[in-house]
Structure 1
Amino acid sequence: MTRRPAAPMPESIRHVLRAKQHPARAVPCPHCGAGAHRPCVLRTRNQVMTQPHPQRVSEWAQTSACCPACQVEPTVPCHDEGRARTTVHDRRYQEAEATAA
């Protein structure tokens, strides 16, 4: 039996599949290393996840929205009274979701 290369996916189908993805998949995952528009994976089991890692969602919110809580611009990390945070404020998540809709 001869193996044939897979046919390229039509852009119309690719667009529909990307529309159903979480908007955080637009940025690479800092936790598992998944590239942009690729699903996150569990490294221990090499299993594809249906939702992105929380670190990826935080990274996406940081790159795509201003933070109403600490008044920083996109790409600038959130802070609490000058102390750096490891995640973004909840209000920044809401702002990012509003701009993605």
Structure 2
Amino acid sequence: MMMRSGAPMPEQLRHFMRASQHPARSVPCPHCGARAHRPCLLRASGRQLPQPHPRRVSDWARTVACCPECQVEPTVSCHDDGWARTTVHARRQQEAEATAP
């Protein structure tokens, strides 16, 4: 019988093991409801997707990068002439991907 240890995995090792995953998996998916660090799913079949949904990538970029287009800080939604956007500008997503570990 296999025994599981109660010791938590060190964060450095956890980060190394997740290195091949898209960094957007660090936030929950608003489209399919996948929890943080879990893969996105097709809602109809439950099949796991190899890449996160675009909305999840947008939410991740909002949390980690400043937007060079509308000059907002992380966690603040992008806007167009004062109107809030549901997604981030493409330049903000590029900025987040460029600075991702």
Shift in Å, 1:94: 1.1
- Matched residue type, 1:100: A
Regions of 4+ moved over 3 Å: 4-8, 10-17
Task: Tell me the TM-score normalised to structure 1 length.
Answer: 0.84
Shift in Å, 1:16: 3.8
The 2-side partners of 1:92 and 1:6 are apart by: 46
Gaps of 5+ in 1: none
SS at match of 1:48: coil
Aligned-residue sequence identity (percent) comes to: 66
- Matched residue type, 1:96: A
Question: How many matched pairs?
Answer: 98
Structure 1 residues 1-101: aligned runs within 5 Å = 14-101=14-101
Task: Tell me the TM-score normalised to structure 2 length.
Answer: 0.84
SS at match of 2:18: helix
Q: How large is the Cα RMSD of the aligned pairs?
A: 2.2
Shift in Å, 1:47: 0.4
SS at match of 1:42: coil
- Matched residue type, 1:53: H
**Cα distance per residue 1:40-78 (max 9 Å; x no partner):** 000100100000000000000000000000000101100
Shift in Å, 1:85: 1.1
Gaps of 5+ in 2: none
